[in-house]
Structure 1
Amino acid sequence: MKYYIITGEASGDLHASNLMKELKYEDTQAQFRFWGGDLMQAQGGEMVKHYRETAFMGFVTVLKNLKTIRANFTLCETDLLAFAPDVLILVDYPGFNLRMAAFAKKHGIRVHYYISPKIWAWKESRVKKIKAHVDRMFTIFPFETEFYKKHNYEVSFGGNPLLDAIENRENKEESFDQFVERNNLPQKPIIALLAGSRKQEIERILPVMLKVVDRFPDYQFVVAAAPSITKEFYASVSQNSKLSFVYGQTYDLLQQSKVALVASGTATLETALLRIPQVVCYKMSGGSLAYRLGKMLLNIKYISLVNLVVDKFVVKELIQQYCNPQMIGDELDLILKDEAYRSQMLANYDDLSQHLGGAGASARFAKMIYEDVKTIKA
């Protein structure tokens, strides 16, 4: 069968690539065409656009790139019809993907949504579009399933594919000495910096993280560099000779770190599943006013997936004006120096796996997608 897959960021590339791998087991004749990244490309098929060419974040950035965004929609619509897939599989990326869902539905193409948009956090009204244009929604968090149930929309929960991605990661047995030698790093304990995968996020968050470097001279600060971001861009943002970078090694870096500063998103969950203590740091444009407005608009108690999944305070969330060098440094001090505090965070991490459905999620989702399409075609 023919599968057309669309994602717009690094985490989507990871999940979609694992789904493609499992779909090939279910369907030995699988053909793929996609908008994604290097991990998806490694699974075969034809890539139409790399996500680094389509990741526009923030109102001003979107306005500046409207011509390109419109051209991408036109290209995707034309390409989708030309490929004539048996199913369109959408991975998060709602601004683009919800429009493509409507287009596909209009032209009789079956639509599956894998990795739900975070409409449970904000823009809840988008559920109407999903109910109208998405044939099957696959959820990776139990609270997502409950959200859709509230809206009388049946979904399929299959667990969280991050469990598989982390369990099957490369270099799982690598030692600290091997890691620092392979990356030409000094023999100093590591504080990992995960500042996001988009330029706008990195520009806002990384400089604040870097202001705590001098407070911790006994540690080295290493950035988990996003594959789509150039070294030149990081250099222009950081301007810090005490900083090191590793590309395409987020899991390797985390498992060798004492603690991590993490921008909100999937990375908070990955860090927790690797059992690394963390501080969640997030800033948006607009200052404290944007924070107050955001709190009024958001439908959630927490911004980190770790806290959301277990529905309690597990990791510190420093948002907007609270994301400052003093508060970040104080939280790092607690984690590094207060053994009871650190141990409690790690103990709370133990609750995560039982909430996420266990291993084998990618295979379960692939089977559900294949069986659904096969049934419809029969």
Structure 2
Amino acid sequence: MNIFISVCDYSSELYAYKILEYIKEEIDGNIFAIGGGLLKDFRGVNFWLDSVKYSAVGFFENLPRIPFMFFDYLKLKKLLRSNRIDYAILFDSPAVNLRLIRLLRGRGVKIIYIIPPKSWSLERSKVHDFVENNCDVIIVPFKFNLNVYKGKNVFYFGHPIVEIVKKDLTLENRKSVLGIFPGSRKFEVEFVSKPVLDNVLSFTKKFQEIFISSTFLTKQYLRKFNSDIVKVSEDYYEIISKAGVALAVSGTVVLKNAIYSVPTICFYKVYKISEFIFRKIKKIKVDKIALPNILWEYEFKLGNEFIIPELIQDEYNYLSVVDKLDNILENYDYYLSKIKEFRKTFFEFYPPFPLKDISEFLLGFMKKGKR
């Protein structure tokens, strides 16, 4: 029984890593993977190529890397065709995985899609039809996904992040400490977070300490942060355990911050041409981008308020960030109480071991159809 795993972002790689820990002893064949450093270093995995480096949101944000992506895709196609694959486990990243579905389906591979495309969407689309018609198993992260993914091959076990976060982490929640999370993609650090990173030293007037997640920072920025107040760290837990307020690129990190009861300002922007395609051509309408806000309204059904302030596209600039920060600091008790209510609701709503349950289900499914 040979398995192929496809992940293209850091959060999904964490979930894939945990699932592999659960199932590795039961797999009697080869495990092939594309992903990042975690899967590359996982003992027993035949690692094919780094796909996390291509992770991006939008249509034109990855243009400089297209030649490299093209050659890596050709390499991947060759590897998939020259190795027998019985089961493919795909995580999120529709830009890559929807294309892989067509290739794998033609070779008779059983396809499992964890966190399928448009998991945030409330409306059914052609993408949902395509995934349901071409995947053998679909595992959705949110309960409200069952309103759009309705096939007999759709399953829900809870959100995987529940099993990843450290529930016993000691939180200081110091109002005087700011945490900055500029993203896990090169595009996010260099473009999206630029208004924040270019003005980090100005925030020293409002905070006694500033911690910046440095995993993806360039040397250019590291040289800029010449201050005793500003510290850089690759350890997410070191930052979040001390921070009382945070600035973060939209993504899983915003959800994690909310789980750790840290009031956070969420921001994001894509190129104008990508925004045009999203709104006018793809007809994608999004009124919320922060996962805690989406869950608050559609999963927990607690109202449509923004418990996480958001800044999107033209709304997002240095001055608007300062304005949102001032508002949180002036109304800190309110935002802290809301985010603590979110944390409590989150752990009450979702099962405690979703990745373990997913792993046991996958083993049963794969053993049943073992080749």
Partner of 1:319: 312
Most deviating of 310-319 and 205-214: 205-214
Correspondence 1:371 to 2:364: yes
Question: Residues 141, 234 of structure 1: CA spacing in aligned structure 2 closer, same or farther, 3 A cutoff?
Answer: farther
Deviation at 1:233, TM superposition (A): 5.6
Contact 1:306 1:352 survives alignment (8 Å): no
- Give per-residue Cα distances to partners, 1:247-303, cap 9 Å, x unaligned: 2x2233112211111111111111111111111111222299759937993344311
Most deviating of 253-262 and 45-54: 45-54
Deviation at 1:21, TM superposition (A): 1.0
1:227-376 pair list within 5 angstroms: 229=216, 231-232=218-219, 234-235=221-222, 239-242=224-227, 243-247=230-234, 249-286=235-272, 290=276, 293=279, 297-311=283-297, 312-313=304-305, 314-349=307-342, 350-355=344-349, 357-376=350-369
- Alpha-carbon distance in 2 for matches of 1:368, 1:19: 11
Residue type matched to 1:241 in 2?
A: N
Partner of 2:162: 163
Most deviating of 87-96 and 159-168: 159-168
Residue type matched to 2:54 in 1?
A: T
Partner of 1:199: 186
- Alpha-carbon distance in 2 for matches of 1:225, 1:252: 12
- Alpha-carbon distance in 2 for matches of 1:377, 1:63: 41
Question: Residues 294, 42 of structure 1: CA spacing in aligned structure 2 closer, same or farther, 3 A cutoff?
Answer: farther
- Alpha-carbon distance in 1 for matches of 2:61, 2:267: 22
Deviation at 1:119, TM superposition (A): 5.7
- Alpha-carbon distance in 2 for matches of 1:250, 1:294: 37
Q: How many residues align?
A: 357
Question: Residues 333, 295 of structure 1: CA spacing in aligned structure 2 closer, same or farther, 3 A cutoff?
Answer: farther
Partner of 2:301: none
Residue type matched to 1:351 in 2?
A: T
Partner of 1:54: 54
- Alpha-carbon distance in 1 for matches of 2:278, 2:19: 38
Question: Residues 4, 263 of structure 1: CA spacing in aligned structure 2 closer, same or farther, 3 A cutoff?
Answer: same
Contact 1:105 1:133 survives alignment (8 Å): yes
RMSD over aligned CA atoms reads 3.1
- Give per-residue Cα distances to partners, 1:191-212, cap 9 Å, x unaligned: 1111211121222232222436
- Alpha-carbon distance in 1 for matches of 2:274, 2:102: 36
Residue type matched to 1:361 in 2?
A: P
Question: Residues 65, 331 of structure 1: CA spacing in aligned structure 2 closer, same or farther, 3 A cutoff?
Answer: closer
- Give per-residue Cα distances to partners, 1:190-238, cap 9 Å, x unaligned: 3111121112122223222243642442333222133xx3642644xx8
Residue type matched to 2:249 in 1?
A: A
Residue type matched to 2:345 in 1?
A: D
- Give per-residue Cα distances to partners, 1:120-172, cap 9 Å, x unaligned: 549943223212321111111112222212xx564111111111111379xx4
The share of aligned pairs that are identical, in percent, is 21
- Give per-residue Cα distances to partners, 1:51-76, cap 9 Å, x unaligned: 34433554334444333222222221
Question: Residues 54, 282 of structure 1: CA spacing in aligned structure 2 closer, same or farther, 3 A cutoff?
Answer: closer
Partner of 1:224: 213
Partner of 1:182: none
Contact 2:132 2:149 survives alignment (8 Å): no
- Alpha-carbon distance in 2 for matches of 1:230, 1:250: 14
Correspondence 1:137 to 2:148: no
